[in-house]
Chains A and B, each alone.
Chain A
């Protein structure tokens, strides 16, 4: 045995494209020959849909509720190209405690030594980025994920959210938990978008792992219930995801994140607001106005 298992967590604010990005990374890694499991940690339970033709799979927690005892093999389903798919699940909106749900699901897998049995190369946790309680931070605790990546766009609200996420990651990074590998910059279409995100990672002393443009190819794939890697393997967008997956596969050095404090963040945003205004006046076409 002795194959090294790498566990990765990908966090991102709801709606930012985290599950899309994660599923494509999973698919790309799989096509590159690795054995991958994607573990969805979002109560909406839709992380792995595009790896399974658009279908929902029974979640760990629902299975636990019905059967009292869950064998990990009961809740692992195979998807595109043999990737393993797991959804933690969670309560309906307005009831219960989703954070506790994540703890329960992740602990179950940890206790049953599943990853060794399946001879995996990668486990990728796709986690809701609103880390509102302890439970949502469980995937980045010591002994689970080693590297964490954050998906963000260049919209200011997304950057704020990413900065907030760094605070949550920092707590665990400081005590043996996952370290920050970097930012996956999503929906980067305008040149200034790239500049904003580049500046942000400069201020917070991390890096952009890859820039992923917005693409109608992605939308088309999702409507088919597939990842771009599966639906349009030869497209430009698929190349981007493949490159991203390669970077993640060869990624070794992660760090403790250094989020900006509230004042620094406000100052940084104000500086960019001024700059964007200047650009607009200087007649650069601004199609998608950012949230000023």
Chain B
């Protein structure tokens, strides 16, 4: 279990804190046993393609706190993702019947002279200007490679301004070069929230924290009949709501890769129990997860009744889907945890998972509990998965693998990957809504979309005839893991 330390401005990166890795090839079973038996060794790639960085992931969580503002202490290019998240923010507002507003995102616009002379003064002026303009309830400052290398004292500046302006001005340390895993950005964002926004509990409420992105509110219909209220965090919450998340009765993870840090922090520091079962994907997964909910929320009987009822409703429909999908071959590329979830769903539908390219692997989460290991759960419940590759995107490996395996279906869960399946004529599917596959209903949702995708192959077949391939013939003939190697022990960081 990693120890949550709210006194340090920076959270430890995942490589060190959890021993997470970004390079592996083998079977899922092999990965799980390495992970559970001690040090997992990292492998680096001598050739790599662009990925994503902590800054983007931190921003994605901070950018939709409705009464806070984000200042990116960086050259303007680092705010290139600002509008993409703004778009998501506004669609989310529509879905939640909130009035339309644009996200208020600022850049200190670091230029050459700032890198030479330092830019804390510019940062302070920007914070004051933003405060004048908008009077937000909190200001978050995200850092960048440039601000990090020149060593600007963002924490000191943030603390001074907090006193001066009377609102939390909080540094979120998410420089791109700090971690090989962009998911460390989530941890950075949550760390800044827990250490500076969340207040010690005054009472216990009947709220259940749901750590999610901005997906649909599927937990309302589960929790309300049980007498509880779902509190979806962090996007679309207010500073006031975040101050009180320590008073919740439990925390649910939609994706433990996302929320590992904040779930553990709320439990360790404020005693809010975290639901540690892997998220509810597949029948066994959903049964386990629901039973833990029943236990933590003290509603065991209601949950058992629910399980029986849902089984009766859903299992015949799943059987019907299995008839159509049995034996179809799928390949998955996705983030950790969510990738494991999709694998569970596919196996539940009795499809064959030929392999997976998952973006990183956390051998353990911050709660220190091995039951949270969703991949181990998959292997135990459904059997081993061959060709399990841990790689941080790296389209070149994916294209090589797809070219060899030629699955019936490719499922992706991160932008920029599905196109490679399509270019090779493989039906490809990406579901945006993270909550789509959750629970018993989720199995049915996914099955329907999979059938649709398998059925409509005209688009991809046509595209494959006309698409360009930027990879050399030489590469497509090599072992996909030619550039993987050079073991780096995670402890060296």
Taking Cβ atoms with an 8 Å cutoff, the residues of A that contact B are 61, 64-65, 90-92, 95-98, 100-101, 104
Measured CB to CB, the nearest residue on chain B to A96 is B118
A210 to chain B, nearest CB (A): 35
For the complex, give the distance between the alpha carbons of A92 and B121 in Å: 13
B308 at the interface (CB under 8 A from A): no
Taking Cβ atoms with an 8 Å cutoff, the residues of B that contact A are 112-113, 115-118, 120, 149-152
A64 touches which of B113, B149, B152 (Cβ 8 Å): B113
For the complex, give the distance between the alpha carbons of A92 and B119 in Å: 12
Measured CB to CB, the nearest residue on chain B to A107 is B112
For the complex, give the distance between the alpha carbons of A198 and B348 in Å: 80
A161 to chain B, nearest CB (A): 24
Q: Which residues of B contact A100 (CB under 8 A)?
A: 112, 115-116, 150
B113 lies within 8 A of A97 (CB): no
A95 lies within 8 A of B118 (CB): yes
Of B117, B149, B150, chain A has the most CB atoms within 10 Å of the CB of B117
Measured CB to CB, the nearest residue on chain A to B153 is A95
Q: Which residues of B contact A90 (CB under 8 A)?
A: 116
Q: Which residues of A contact B149 (CB under 8 A)?
A: 97
List 5 contacting pairs A-B, 8 Å CB cutoff, sorted by A.
A91-B117, A91-B118, A95-B117, A96-B117, A97-B151
B150 touches which of A61, A64, A92, A97 (Cβ 8 Å): A97
For the complex, give the distance between the alpha carbons of A108 and B264 in Å: 51
A97 lies within 8 A of B115 (CB): yes
Q: Which residues of B contact A92 (CB under 8 A)?
A: 117-118
B488 to chain A, nearest CB (A): 23
A95 lies within 8 A of B113 (CB): no
A215 to chain B, nearest CB (A): 37
Q: Which residues of A contact B113 (CB under 8 A)?
A: 61, 64-65
Q: Which residues of B contact A61 (CB under 8 A)?
A: 113, 116-117
Of B116, B117, B118, B120, chain A has the most CB atoms within 10 Å of the CB of B116
Q: Which residues of A contact B116 (CB under 8 A)?
A: 61, 65, 90-91, 96-98, 100-101, 104
Q: Which residues of A contact B120 (CB under 8 A)?
A: 95
B127 to chain A, nearest CB (A): 18
Q: Which residues of B contact A97 (CB under 8 A)?
A: 115-116, 118, 149-151
For the complex, give the distance between the alpha carbons of A247 and B120 in Å: 47
Q: Which residues of B contact A101 (CB under 8 A)?
A: 116-117
For the complex, give the distance between the alpha carbons of A61 and B115 in Å: 11
For the complex, give the distance between the alpha carbons of A29 and B117 in Å: 34
Q: Which residues of B contact A95 (CB under 8 A)?
A: 117-118, 120, 150-152
For the complex, give the distance between the alpha carbons of A100 and B146 in Å: 11
Q: Which residues of B contact A98 (CB under 8 A)?
A: 116
For the complex, give the distance between the alpha carbons of A90 and B113 in Å: 10
B143 to chain A, nearest CB (A): 15
Measured CB to CB, the nearest residue on chain B to A68 is B113
Measured CB to CB, the nearest residue on chain B to A61 is B116
Q: Which residues of A contact B118 (CB under 8 A)?
A: 91-92, 95-97
B117 to chain A, nearest CB (A): 5
Q: Which residues of A contact B112 (CB under 8 A)?
A: 64, 100, 104
Q: Other than A91-B117, A95-B118, A97-B116, give 14 A-B pairs with Cβ distance below 8 A.
A: A64-B112, A64-B113, A65-B116, A91-B118, A95-B120, A95-B152, A96-B115, A96-B116, A96-B118, A97-B149, A97-B150, A97-B151, A100-B112, A101-B117
For the complex, give the distance between the alpha carbons of A64 and B150 in Å: 18
A172 to chain B, nearest CB (A): 22
For the complex, give the distance between the alpha carbons of A100 and B149 in Å: 10
Q: Which residues of B contact A91 (CB under 8 A)?
A: 116-118
B123 to chain A, nearest CB (A): 12
For the complex, give the distance between the alpha carbons of A259 and B208 in Å: 65
Measured CB to CB, the nearest residue on chain A to B121 is A95
For the complex, give the distance between the alpha carbons of A101 and B118 in Å: 11
For the complex, give the distance between the alpha carbons of A289 and B116 in Å: 40
A136 to chain B, nearest CB (A): 13
9 closest residue pairs by CB, A with B: A95-B118, A96-B118, A101-B116, A97-B150, A96-B117, A65-B113, A91-B117, A100-B115, A96-B116
Measured CB to CB, the nearest residue on chain B to A62 is B117
Measured CB to CB, the nearest residue on chain B to A66 is B113
